[in-house]
Amino acid sequence: MCAALVGSAVSKQGFRVELAPTDEQRVLLGQHAGLSRLVENFALERVKAALDQREAEKTYGVAEGGLTPVPWSAPALESAWRAAHPVRFPWFTEAGLSSRVPKEACRVRAAGFRTFFDSRSGKRKGPKVGFPSWRKRKHGGRFRYDADRAKPVDTRTVRLPGVGSIATREDMTWLVSRLAESEARVLGATVKERAGRWWISFQIEVDRAELDQRRAAPPDAPACGVDLGLTTFATVVDSDGTVTEIRAPKLLKAALRKLRRANKALARSRRGSANRAKRRAEVARVHLRVAHRRTDFLHKTTTRLARTKSAVAVETLNIVGMAGNRRLARAISDAGWGEFTRQLDYKARWYGSRVWKADRWFPSSKTCSTPGCGQRHGGLTLAERTWTCTGCGTVHHRDRNAATNLLAAMLADAA
């Protein structure tokens, strides 16, 4: 394992490739995914049992210091697993499965408990997170390796403990060359199955200095304001006056006919039959295709903005609240606004740009963008795509007006 990287350009990122396992390797991958699921459920069982025991002890008058301890931490859960598996799960040793998978499953479960408590105490921002629940097979197969236990062997092969060397469907020259030159190191790896296909995602620490400098936004690149929408995914107004409209691909909408057909076939198949398993796999393939196309669109859009703009002004949207509108919920979820903002954030850091986020209540759409006016159209509805300012008489295109106001607010804030 290489030493920890140091430097201002060192960052953490993911590197995902699809695996091409043989039939025997598919069985082993499935066994490790099942092992991870079992250990996570074992850990949850132990915590629930300890909590129930504590409640019973309180009724007996046991003092707080004498109550049964709850194994919240990863080391405590690992210790419980090591003590229990020779008796309860003797097949684990006999099957020759990797011992690193249970270790990481305990860490994942412990992280879930920590997230729950941080959310309840207010340390974690965002929607409240519930108490961890049981993992089920229908939730999908996944398991993790710590450090560089799983790592590339060459540009087309990865080695997984307990599974062996597996070919990949994609070239890994970018990662392998950096590992060889000590410009990157593997922090961990997650193996995941979706729609019958397997991927491995390496969590890496990499020195991006040379790469980021080569792909950085030009010094004279314009700043821009970006208004997100449904029909037009993004309306981009540059500081030099250029207006660009990026059309929304509406990928889920395009696949709805095929998805309905697949879901009907699934509903009509007999439970437990081989045919039902095929129909379920077809539904999963449709969803996976939509997800991949959406991810591809978002990556290309955010990369283009981060590498061609010096600064990007965006809105802070209450996406969860907006999705409460039953007429727009599907379209909002299909758009991927949250993922767009997330990708733009880290890519701007890579390429020397910056992202400015307006306050959630900033009236970008209903404020006149004409210099010196600033009149607000308080009664603006979602159906109004254009409106006329009562102060200066300017006719505004809703999205362009919003993007212009976001840009102006960012420039004023930086002045």
pLDDT at 25 over 70: yes
Q: What confidence tier does 8 reach under pLDDT thresholds 50, 70, 90? A: low
Q: Which residue has the tokens 């990949």?
A: 168
Higher-pLDDT residue of 223 and 1 is 223
pLDDT at 1 over 50: no
pLDDT at 275 over 70: yes
Q: Which two tokens stand for residue 82?
A: 């090591």
Q: What is the pLDDT of residue 7?
A: 58
Report the chain's terminal Cα–Cα distance, integer Å. Answer: 47
CB atoms within 10 A of CB 123: 10
- Look at 143-152, 181-190, 284-293, 370-379 and tell me which has the smallest mean pLDDT: 370-379
Across 190-215, average pLDDT:
94
- Asked if 46 and 53 count as a contact pair (C-beta separation under 8 A), the reply is no
Chain CA centroid to CA 347, Å: 15
Convert the pLDDT of each residue in 290-312 to its tens digit: 999 999 999 999 999 999 999 99
- Asked if 106 and 81 count as a contact pair (C-beta separation under 8 A), the reply is yes
- Asked if 135 and 105 count as a contact pair (C-beta separation under 8 A), the reply is no
Q: Which two tokens stand for residue 409?
A: 């607010």
Q: What is the pLDDT of residue 379?
A: 83
Percent of all residues in the chain with a pLDDT value above 90, rounded to a whole number: 78
Q: What is the pLDDT of residue 380?
A: 86
- Asked if 16 and 194 count as a contact pair (C-beta separation under 8 A), the reply is no
Q: What is the pLDDT of residue 99?
A: 93
pLDDT at 353 over 90: yes
As annotated, the active-site residues are: 227, 315, 399
Q: What is the pLDDT of residue 175?
A: 96
Tell me the residue type at 390: T
Higher-pLDDT residue of 382 and 20 is 20
Rg, the chain, Cα only = 26
Convert the pLDDT of each residue in 223-242 to its tens digit: 999 999 998 999 999 999 99
pLDDT at 69 over 60: yes
Chain CA centroid to CA 299, Å: 13
CB atoms within 10 A of CB 304: 14
Q: What is the pLDDT of residue 3?
A: 54
Across 8-28, average pLDDT:
92
pLDDT at 2 over 90: no
- Asked if 143 and 36 count as a contact pair (C-beta separation under 8 A), the reply is yes
Supply φ then ψ for residue 29, to 5 degrees: -60, -45
Q: What is the pLDDT of residue 22?
A: 97
Mean pLDDT over each residue of the chain, to the nearest integer? 92
Spatial distance between the Cα atoms of 345 and 157, rounded to a whole number of angstroms: 32
pLDDT at 169 over 60: yes
Convert the pLDDT of each residue in 118-161 to its tens digit: 999 999 987 889 999 999 988 889 999 999 999 999 999 999 99
